[in-house]
Structure 1
Amino acid sequence: MSTTTTEFDRLHQQIAQAESATRYRYEPQVRRMIERKAASGEAIPEATKRLHQELLCEAIEAQFDNMPV
């Protein structure tokens, strides 16, 4: 198991334990890890890709939470 895989596993656990309202704050970390893994030629797990997409959606949604209507 590579160091990156171990980091992914640890980050997945942190995100799973995070409050739903704050999970999106992990998106930059997940993105950087994906970029590092891709740059080294390693495959990105589908679960990680899905998680990243979810976090992106949550981050976009969070931008509109305090917007006046």
Structure 2
Amino acid sequence: MTDLAERAAELEKQIENASHKERLALLPAFDRVIATLTAHGEVVPKRLHRLNTALKEEAIEDLFDNMPV
């Protein structure tokens, strides 16, 4: 396992045990690791892609929840 893959696994565990705010704070680091792994041609497990997508969706929902109407 590469250093990046290990970092992705560490972040995954942190995200799973984090509060909503903490999850959103970890998103940029997690997204960077996933993007870098992909750019280097490494196989990224689907569960990590799903988690990254879910975090991005949470961040978008959070933006709209705080939007004044």
**TM-score bucket of the superposed structures, by smaller chain:** 0.7 to 0.9
Correspondence for 2:48:
48
Amino acid aligned to 1:44 = V
Q: Which amino acid aligns with 1:36?
A: T
TM-score, normalising length from structure 2?
0.86
Once the two structures are TM-superposed, the CA of residue 3 in structure 1 deviates from its matched residue by: 0.8
Counterpart AA for 1:66: N
Higher relative contact order (CA 8 A, sep 6+): 1
Aligned-residue Cα RMSD (Å) equals: 1.3
Structure 1 CA distance for aligned equivalents of residues 23 and 2 of structure 2: 25
Task: Decide which structure has greater helix share.
Answer: 2
User: TM (normalized to structure 1)?
Assistant: 0.86
Which position in structure 2 is the counterpart of 1:5?
5
Please tell me whether the aligned partners of residues 24 and 55 of structure 2 are also in contact (alpha carbons under 8 angstroms). Answer: yes
Give the number of aligned pairs: 69
Q: List structure 1 segments (4+ residues) > 4 angstroms apart after TM superposition.
A: none
Instruction: Tell me if structure 1 keeps the 8 A contact 2:27–2:52.
Output: yes
Matching residue of 2:63:
63
Instruction: Report % sequence identity.
Output: 38
Check conservation: 2:15, 2:26, Cα contact below 8 A.
yes
Tell me how far 1:21 sits from its aligned partner: 4.2
Listed as ranges, the gaps of 5+ residues in structure 2 are none
